Amino acid sequence: MVKPQDLGHIIDEHPFFQGLNAPLREALVCCAANERFVAGEHLFREGAEARKFYLIRQGQVAIEVEAPVRKPIILETLSDGEVLGWSWLVPPHRTAFTARAQTTVRVLSFDTTCLLKKMEADPALGFAVLRRFVPIMAHRLSAARLQLLDLYGPAMAAAPKAEKKPKTEKAVKASKGRNRSAVAALEGVRAEAQADKAALKLAKAKGEKPAKKKAKSS
């Protein structure tokens, strides 16, 4: 059983509540509880009343969208040190997504009915909580937008300009014809390279040390 003073320590150590003064910290402790979820267990489900938010102390939580006739789609995962759930701040105070523990998860949960009452009574507490939530909301929005871009997909993996217009097989053949002279020149280079190699082998066979063996290629 975690005592209220221990909850206070956990809040103190959690980066989310860094810089909180003692009275505000006490107000938060009054609404906090320690909870544990096993892998596969839901912390909350989409559309449910948002009665809690969580500070993840340990473990990984998947934010999911339920989809018919298929497995839930994982949108994001959250882990140690991160905050889960802000639907409680926004009417109609219902969770937008499902949160499921992927591993054993230890959290500090906050009763948001209790917290909202305290925030309404004490604007300083309301401000302290909101100023911690807003950057998280902004970060998640920005991350979601980046995710939408499909950064590593074919559209974003642009080929160099010279590669952008795929040539037809005919065009490639024509290009090969035009480049015959270049190929012939390279055949010359190849012959030189083979002569190089032969000379190197011969030198090795004779036990001679090649004059410039470790030449930089450029």
Partner 1 sequence: MTAQDPLMRAADPMLPRLFRVEKVRRELSDTFTMELVAEDGWEFVFQPGQFNMLYVFGVGEIPISISGDPADRSRLVHTTRAVGPVSQALDELKAGDSLGVRGPFGTTWPVEAAYGRDLIFVAGGVGLAPLRPAIYHAMANRERYGRVMVLYGARTPEDILYKKELERWRGRFDMDVLVTVDRATGKWGGNVGVVTNLVMKGGFDPLQTTAFICGPEVMMRYGAQAMEKRGVGRDHIWLSVERNMKCGCGLCGHCQWGPHFVCKDGPVFRYDRIADLFAISEL
Residues making contact with partner 1 (CB under 8 A): 60, 62, 73-77, 79-82, 102, 139, 142-143, 146-147, 149-154, 156-164, 166-167, 172, 175-176, 179-180, 182-183, 186, 189-190, 192-197, 199-201, 212-218
Our CB check for partner 1 shows the closer of 121 and 141 to be 141
SS (H, E, C) the chain: CCCHHHHHHHHHHCHHHCCCCHHHHHHHHHCEEEEEECCCCEEECCCCECCEEEEEEECCEEEEECCCCCCCEEEEEECCCCEECCHHHCCCCECCCEEEECCCEEEEEEEHHHHHHHHHHCHHHHHHHHHHHHHHHHHHHHHHHHHHCCCCCCCCCCCCHHHCCCCCHHHHHHHHHHCHHHHHHHHHHHHHHHHHHHHHHHHHHCCCCCCCCCCCCC
Cβ at position 124, least distance to partner 1 in Å: 26
Q: Which is nearer to partner 1, 82 or 122 (CB)?
A: 82
| Cβ distance to partner 1 smaller for residue 30 or 183 | 183
Q: Least distance from C-beta 59 to partner 1, angstroms?
A: 12
175: tokens are 């290009």
Nearest-approach distance from CB 104 to partner 1, in angstroms: 13
Instruction: Give min distance, CB of 8 to partner 1, in A.
Output: 24
Of 66 and 120, CB closest to partner 1? 66
Minimum separation from the CB atom of position 152 to partner 1 (A):
4
Residue number with CB closer to partner 1 (120 or 196): 196
